[in-house]
Amino acid sequence: MQSIKNLLLLSCRSPFLDDSKVYCPLANLYLKSYVNQHLPGVHVVVGDDDYDLTLASVEPFDAIGISIATPQRFEALTLAGLIKERWPDKIVIAGGPHVKHYCDEMLQLRVFDYLVPFDGEKSLTRIVAGKATGRVVSDVLTRTEVLSQPRPDRKSANAVSVLRRYSYHLAGRSATTMMTARGCPEQCSFCEDAMTSVRWSSLGNIKDELNDIYRLGYGGVYIFDDLFAISLSKIRPICEEMHRLDLVYRCNAQARYFTKWGDEMARLLADTGCCEVAFGAESGSQKILDNVRKRCTVEQNYKTVQYAKKQGLIIKAFILLGLPGETWETLAQTEEFIRNAGFDDFQCAVYMPFRGTQIRSAIEKGGLVDLIIRPAGIDGEVTGAYGTIGGNTAYEVSTSALSSEDLRTFRDYLVMRYRPSSHKRRWEDQDKFFDQGSITGPHAEENPVRQDHRRLVHEELLDTI
């Protein structure tokens, strides 16, 4: 294969989202920097999902790299097919989480010349240099390589133009996203990233990137790491640098780590400009937490909220229904947690057993998992979208005690009953039982019509437990 001189990196459209222009395409900005550093003679351009079906933007390039998440697989196949139909000699490279977990299926699709299932930097550079020896090009960056890798491009005219197309806000400020580490040490059996090596960027590189963000005029940053609030000594200098630059920030946490440090962790975040902490509470049932190897307790989830609120932090919980072993009783325990924990917001979805998770692997091997998959995709696969247009989610699993429709009913009930801002469009569009003008939040005083409706719905649900 000859080397590539002009490379276009694209992100697929996400037609299942209300707004796909929220989080910038970080992965492709990382790839651009890496290829530019190691192959400075190659012209690399980052696009996003603004390509059109005439594909005019594709024509000048020798190769096109497409980043694919599972919900985007049909869009990616359509795009690759159009490119190959018009320009059979153009090289099409697929990467991203879908390639990682569905590589065998992707090999059957001849429209993709190369598949990159893991870290893309080294693999893409090998392909572009003409040194790839097969269709599947697999490389993983070591901890040392991640320490020294170039930060995502935020300086070139191309990168700045792409970044400006995305709109994300924190505490009323224009914000963007970044990562300080890759991987997650936790064992959660429902997660694709479980037990992946944690590889931190160097503090110097992180500071440089924060300065790039500051110079672009952003006032905030979402630290996109699976777990950021994990160690006081590790994150303190990063937090202090964000504070020095007057950047507000949002980060992710996990109850076991957060409660280990308690007030000290919450105070560090609050004192350095953190405006929101998000954490995976998943369930209010200890049985469910144990079933999915969460390695924390319901009590620790409560305490995480308490520590955060004590320091004035906004805190958001991620709730996941339909995990193995879910029953009406465990759902009732989750509602109790939502009602009493005191967090500011929550996002509620029904679990989907992605390929690459321990749960999906156990099901495929015939293990004793109390979960049945009902694939909704036209290819017989789960859709892969936890959040969809209008604050909806997918309902593709059932347990021995609960059908998919039971999970739909209860999830809709939780969203309507507690009206989290993460699902605002959902309850605003569908709540027809009371005056919208009286809604001010999850603890707003209820009028009698609303009280009667909710009492009846709740009694119906409780009657089935």
Domains of the chain: 6-141 (3.40.50.280), 167-463 (3.80.30.20)
Residues 6+ away with beta carbon under 8 Å from 315: 276, 277, 278, 279, 304, 305, 308, 309, 343, 344, 345
Residue 53 confidence class, pLDDT cut points 50, 70, 90: low
Quote the pLDDT of residue 430: 67
Is the whole model's pTM more than 0.85, yes or no? yes
The phi, psi pair for 423, rounded to 5°, reads: -120, 30
The amino acid sitting at 51 is Y
Q: Which of 192, 189, 190, 210 lies closest to 201 in space, CA to CA?
A: 210
- Which tokens in the block code for residue 413? 């009930």
DSSP string, 214-260: HHTT--EEEE--S--TT-HHHHHHHHHHHHHTT-EEEEEE-HHHHHH
Residue 54 confidence class, pLDDT cut points 50, 70, 90: low
- Tokens 């090999």 correspond to what residue? 107
Q: Tell me the percentage of the chain whose pLDDT exceeds 70.
A: 91
Quote the pLDDT of residue 326: 98
Rounded Cα distance, 141 and 161, in Å: 28
Rounded Cα distance, 214 and 302, in Å: 35
Q: Which of 139, 225, 141 lies closest to 179 in space, CA to CA?
A: 225
Distance from chain centroid for Cα 54: 30
pLDDT tens, position by position, 81-118 = 999 999 999 999 999 999 999 999 999 999 999 999 99
Rounded Cα distance, 324 and 188, in Å: 12
Rounded Cα distance, 383 and 89, in Å: 31
The amino acid sitting at 94 is A
Give the relative orientation of helices 263-271 and 232-244 as an angle to the nearest 10 degrees.
Answer: 20
